[in-house]
Amino acid sequence: MDRVASLLNRPRVYYNIDGVGELGMGFMLLGYALLGLLQAHTSKDAIWHTTYGFLVYLGVMCLVIHYGSKAIKQHITYPRTGFVAYRKRDTLWIPMSAGFGISVVMSAGLVLAARSKWNMTSLVALIGLAMAAMYAYRIATAVQWKWFVVLAMVAGSVLIAFSPAALLAAVGDGGREATATFASFAAALRLWEVLFGAMFMISGGISFWLYLRHTSAPARDIK
């Protein structure tokens, strides 16, 4: 039964066989970090502070991730190792429900943490550790070398927890946030986005390179 269970997991792992999942995640995190930095270090009337500017930025980011992933899948992955269409239950309903649940829990946790005057950088570090645990469970158990990525995530989370004030100030907003609590949370979150975004991009890039190395391009018909 263990062999059957591991077979059932294979298609899910296949989505990231070319590193596309991680590249998309890394691009999104770095994109959010860049937006945060632009908002923190530009004047209040700059486009990055407007709702439409934010929505356009988000829209462009999503389009790049969606069509970039699709292009890699259609032109590289599917011709080399085959095509998979996942069930809506696995690509839409479950992730949406899980995302909603996690958002509710995290929002409540943030409000509680802010009111209890917790150290917000430690809270962000905990988020990083939780992500490292999920990554270890879902991905590193299937692809052994990804344990190094787990170690990097744990190290990054510890770095965030003990990050010096100067580093937080460099990625923060220079004191323009409404409260000191929110300012430290925003700065720590930005640092988390940069570190984890870079980790995902590097890991996804390595996966992509390994995938190209270990698979062959389909033979072209000679006319």
Structure tokens given for 53: 């500017």
Residue 219 near another protein by CB under 8 A: no
Residue 210 near another protein by CB under 8 A: no
Task: Please identify which residue in 43, 51, 52, 88 interacts with another protein, judged by CB under 8 A.
Answer: 88
Residue 93 near another protein by CB under 8 A: no
On the CB side of 74, CA atoms within 13 Å amount to 6
Is 79 or 109 the residue whose CB approaches another protein more closely? 79
Residue 114 near another protein by CB under 8 A: no
Task: Please identify which residue in 34, 81, 129, 142 interacts with another protein, judged by CB under 8 A.
Answer: 81
Cα 137 to chain centroid distance, Å, stands at: 16
Cα gap 199→202, rounded to integer Å: 5
Residue 213 near another protein by CB under 8 A: no
Residue 1 near another protein by CB under 8 A: yes
Using H for helix, E for strand and C for coil, what is the string for 156-184? HHHHHHCCCHHHHHHHCCCCCCCCHHHHH
Residue 7 near another protein by CB under 8 A: yes
Task: Please identify which residue in 38, 84, 113, 126 interacts with another protein, judged by CB under 8 A.
Answer: 84
**124, 189 Cβ separation under 8 angstroms:** yes
